[in-house]
Amino acid sequence: MHHCVVPACCEELSFPISIKSEWNTLLFPLPRLAWPPGGAPVFVTMNRIPVRPEYAEQFEEAFRQRARLVDRMPGFIRNLVLRPKDPGDPYVVMTLWESEEAFRAWTESPAFKEGHARSGTLPKEAFLGPSRLEAFEVVLDSEGQDA
């Protein structure tokens, strides 16, 4: 039986761009970030997903083929998938929201359940271990927009 161990709350991510730094590569294109009215997003989730290097291409393709249901959720801004430069480091799936309440509404929605019903695309052995979800509040934006 194949299943994905990507936690449900942050699996829905993508944007085709190729931004490269000396550490990570953004997998999907990223137009200039357009913050919501009133300033920067106040809630960000980061899901660190340890993927075996031999499954990296399949993992990325799964995100390219995602259901995209989260894109229509109220309060959703965008999501990003970051490829590690060091194959031993985890992928980072980042989701930006207008509020924590908007994020929680997504995780409790029928669309969330529907979007994650398709998550069984990779075998358990594709992952080096459990993923780790982190949550943050934006306090400062380099564009000069304090949260």
pLDDT digits (tens), the chain, 147 positions: 323 333 333 333 333 323 333 444 445 444 445 555 566 668 999 999 999 999 999 999 988 887 688 888 999 999 899 999 998 899 999 999 999 999 999 999 998 888 777 666 789 999 999 999 999 998 887 776 555
SS3 51: strand
Q: Can you give the pLDDT at residue 147?
A: 56
Q: Can you give the pLDDT at residue 55?
A: 95
Handedness of CA 63, 65, 67, 69 (dihedral sign): positive
Q: Can you give the pLDDT at residue 89?
A: 95
Q: Please, what's the largest Cα pairwise distance for the chain? A: 49
- CB count within 10 Å of CB 20 equals 11
Q: What are phi and psi of 89, to 5 degrees?
A: -85, 155
- CB count within 10 Å of CB 79 equals 23
